[in-house]
Amino acid sequence: MANHDFDALHAAMQAQVDQQFLPGVATAVMRGREVVDRFCCGFADKEAGIPLREDHIFRMFSSTKLVTSCAVLMLFEEGRIQWDDPIEAYIPELGARQVLKAGATHIDQVEPARTSITIGQLMTHTSGLSYGLFDPGTVLFDAYNKAAVMHPGKTLDEMMKALAPLPLAFQPGTQWEYSVATDVLGRLVEVVSGATFGAFLAGRIFEPLGMSDTDFWVPEAKLERLCVLYVGADMADPTQPGLRRLDSKPFPGAYTRKMPRESGGGGLVSTLDDTVKFMQSLLPGGPRLLQAQTIDSMWRNHLAQGMCVQFPNVPRFESKGFGWGSSVTIGTSPAEPAEVVGEVGWGGLAGTIWWINPRLGIAAALMTQRYMGFGNPYSFEFKRSAYAGLGF
């Protein structure tokens, strides 16, 4: 404990607020299960001058994926699914897939899939599914949006039906592409458990862990705790200071009422405290959400040789593999501490970040609301400062 010094971390996060890169930020750093530092600064609502508190509620976006992956792993531990199971055994609409031919310029230029999509491929984003978010102008981007795959008015069942006629981006298991796979996993949980996805999460994860502020919507009694969402002055240049309010994302009125779609890929809201409780349930030293051997497997890189995390129009993340629901750091990079190898983590489109380093027994979470913020410079500054504060 005497070696912990987080003054530099606090100063770095305060500077992100002062320099207009983040509206407000709340962080927690852990050694084992013990929270050794909490910090909160800035605003939940800049225009109204409302200071950010630790009990404020954040849009988690893709930080939701860890929760969904754990729900699937619970079913795996119960022997109700296996990683090699074809998804059409549970969701028939996703069988008999077609694959977009290389260089295709039209959605009908396809060939049959050589194999079925497996549950394991959905967990690692190697299924061939796409997102319709990150590659505007492509054939699949246009097709996903025309089919309104991500429409909040669709239930998960209806989402599967919207996906059914769309081809895959590649043959299952041959590439990595971030996708709606985790929403498919949410539907898988519904089919296997017989409960709605939200009910399963509430009964098996949120209530047992005391995560009282985590859900797919914010009831009226809690609305004053929902942070405002902001976006940078220039989304293409995160080094440019300035923030503007963004009330209409991901759609007008999002999270303020129940919607049919309970998105396993990005639908939850949560608080710093609830996020810490969830992360603690995956760490040794107390009651765990999953068995130790399951968590060990969860944190291993399951991508084939030569595969890594890769997004359209940006360099490959050669140092990042992928496990059961999160990235796995398999090498060093100039932006991160040298000790980062073995770390697992991910984040959300509105800027939330979580990471766990099982090898070192440390973990951390950062909560903010900057749209398209995950991967911006502040995330690396936070990690470097947190590692240094922990003595690494």
Residue pLDDT, tens place only, 314-347: 899 999 999 999 999 999 999 999 999 999 999 9
The mean predicted confidence, pLDDT, of the chain is 96
For the entire predicted model, the pTM comes to: 0.97
Q: pLDDT by residue (tens digit) across 103-115? A: 999 999 999 999 9
Enumerate domains of the chain plus CATH numbers. Answer: 7-64+210-389 (3.40.710.10), 72-193 (3.40.710.10)
Written in H, E and C, the secondary structure of the chain is CCCCCCHHHHHHHHHHHHCCCCCEEEEEEEECCEEEEEEEEEEEECCCCEECCCCCEEECHHHHHHHHHHHHHHHHHCCCCCCCCEHHHCCHHHCCCEEECCCCCCCCCEEECCCCCEHHHHHHCCCCCCCCCCCCCCHHHHHHHHCCCCCCCCCHHHHHHHHCCCCECCCCCCCCCCCCHHHHHHHHHHHHHCCCHHHHHHHHHHHHHCCCCCECCCCHHHHHHECCCEEECCCCCCCCCCEEECCCCCCCCCCCCCCCCCCCCCCCEECHHHHHHHHHCCCCCCCCCCCHHHHHHHCCCCCCCCCCECCCCCCCECCEEECCCCEEECCCCCCCCHHHCCCEEEECCCCCEEEEECCCCEEEEEECCEECCCCCHHHHHHHHHHHHHCCC
Q: What is the mean pLDDT of residues 9-21?
A: 98
pLDDT at 2 (0 to 100): 53
Residue 1 has pLDDT above 50, yes or no: no
Q: pLDDT by residue (tens digit) across 297-313? A: 999 999 999 999 999 98
Under the banding of pLDDT at 50, 70 and 90, the label for residue 3 is confident
